[in-house]
Amino acid sequence: MIRDYAKKYYLEQDYNCAESVFLAAGEALGLGLTDRDAKLIGGFGGGIGCGSVCGALAGAVAVLGAVRIGTRAHATEGFKEECAALKAAFEARLGGVLCAEVKPRYAVPEQRCFAAVQLACDVLEAQLRPAGEEPISAAEIKRVKGLGFLQQKGTRKFNGRILTRNGKISAAEGRAIAEAAEKFGAGEVAMTTRLTLEVQGIPYENIESFRACIAQAGLETGGTGSKVRPVVSCKGTTCQYGLCDTFALSRQLHETFYQGWHDVLLPHKFKIAVGGCPNNCVKPDLNDFGVVGQRVPQFDAGACRGCKKCAVEKNCPIGAAKLRDGRLVIDTDACNHCGRCVGRCPFHALEDGRYGYRVYIGGRWGKHVAQGQALRTIFTSPEAVTAVLEKALLLFRDQGITGERFSDTIDRLGFENVEAQLLDDALLARRDEILQAEKHLVGGATC
């Protein structure tokens, strides 16, 4: 596992052998080591610059100290013996402990001593591993991640993501989750931003037992990988501002695309959120595909009496409704269709509003944030939303480059181009061809 981080530091960022082992182990084990910390070990690279003690061994010993030492090295029972054991294991594996002995065996022009750095990582990891415990292979870590189990750095423990119905669980399901968390994990449950419940600290050996336990309550884990992620929504069905049945629509989209497209590989993860109104509590416009409930006001200008104190203007939260020359005017470009103005006019100038759905595409958050852009059409039925989402996914799979998010695909192709394709049916006609193509076998999602 530690060796998986060594390439990043040694080959890609040009750290020396001592710094690379030190920083690779620090990241793999979650030790919080920094570049500034690495300066303390940097002088040991190249055998202290003169072919003496191998820098990779020195970096490994430094990590051993960071993990094992309590207050003082000489006061830490068994530490000297562990250092000696690490040195002996290094010598047996690499054929010596001096740079002058190791470098001739492993150095090559293109990669320098990268092979020696990797072996030093392996020796260190074996030293830190409890006796008799076999490492978990990268392939197995990837497999269980696909089941919804994310490894805790530097441990054999995982956090298991239990899917919910947009954050809802029954009391019986809650009891089953609590029981499974105590029996198979660390007894703690965290809530994720995607409305899944993450049971913490499940030992690798307990994963299958944990899955079997929660399955008895009708629960399952998942929600990782370069695929459609579990659909989330706000509580628009019950909220006073809700303009659509968010639970019904999000469940339909979840069943159709998260469950129905579960084996479809995409360039990267694809997140979907349904919001009941423009309050954006669930941040639909920061998802790859976001849906926002709408109520487009139907303004009868002829019924306006030109009241000096307009109730519609007073109740518009964003200032889109204003009196101009004594008459009500609604700025349709500024109006976000929240519906708060409907029914406010005592003379019935705004008695009705057309319900619908606004769709945003290309939102994301994280290291790079992008606000989704709205399609120009207000969709008037759940079926229309489902259709445009399917076209968005087909476009992403067909025209997206492996490793890029949907926002990057849109930027590369151009929003107007993407919008035109989503409002047309050509992608649906190629549905089978797009889904059957062998693409994105290794997607860009790392969690």
How far apart CA 410 and CA 398 sit, in angstroms, is 13
* Residue-level pLDDT at 137: 81
Angle subtended by helix axes 382-399 and 246-253, to nearest 10? 40
Contact by Cβ (8 Å): 178, 184: no
Q: Are strands 157-162 and 149-151 parallel, antiparallel or unpaired?
A: antiparallel
425 secondary structure, DSSP code: S
Coarse DSSP helix, strand, coil percentages of the chain, rounded to the nearest 5 percent: 45, 15, 40
* Residue-level pLDDT at 132: 65
* Residue-level pLDDT at 101: 94
How far apart CA 415 and CA 362 sit, in angstroms, is 9
How far apart CA 176 and CA 170 sit, in angstroms, is 10
- Please say whether the dihedral angle defined by the alpha carbons of residues 253, 258, 259 and 261, taken in this order, is positive or negative: positive
Which H helix or E strand runs over 22? helix 17-28
Contact by Cβ (8 Å): 29, 68: no
Q: Which residues of the chain have pLDDT under 70?
A: 131-132, 154
How far apart CA 419 and CA 376 sit, in angstroms, is 8
Burial classification of residue 288, based on how many CB atoms lie within 10 Å of its CB (0-12 exposed, 13-18 middle, 19 or more buried): buried
Is 289 in a helix, a strand, or coil? strand
**Residue 414 neighbours by CB distance under 10 Å:** 10
* Residue-level pLDDT at 218: 95
Tens digits of per-residue pLDDT, 240-269? 999 999 999 999 999 999 999 999 999 999
* Residue-level pLDDT at 244: 94
Q: How many helices (H) and strands (E) does the chain have?
A: 18, 11
* Residue-level pLDDT at 154: 66
How many CA within 13 A on the CB side of residue 125?
28
* Residue-level pLDDT at 292: 98
How far apart CA 231 and CA 282 sit, in angstroms, is 11
**Residue 284 neighbours by CB distance under 10 Å:** 27
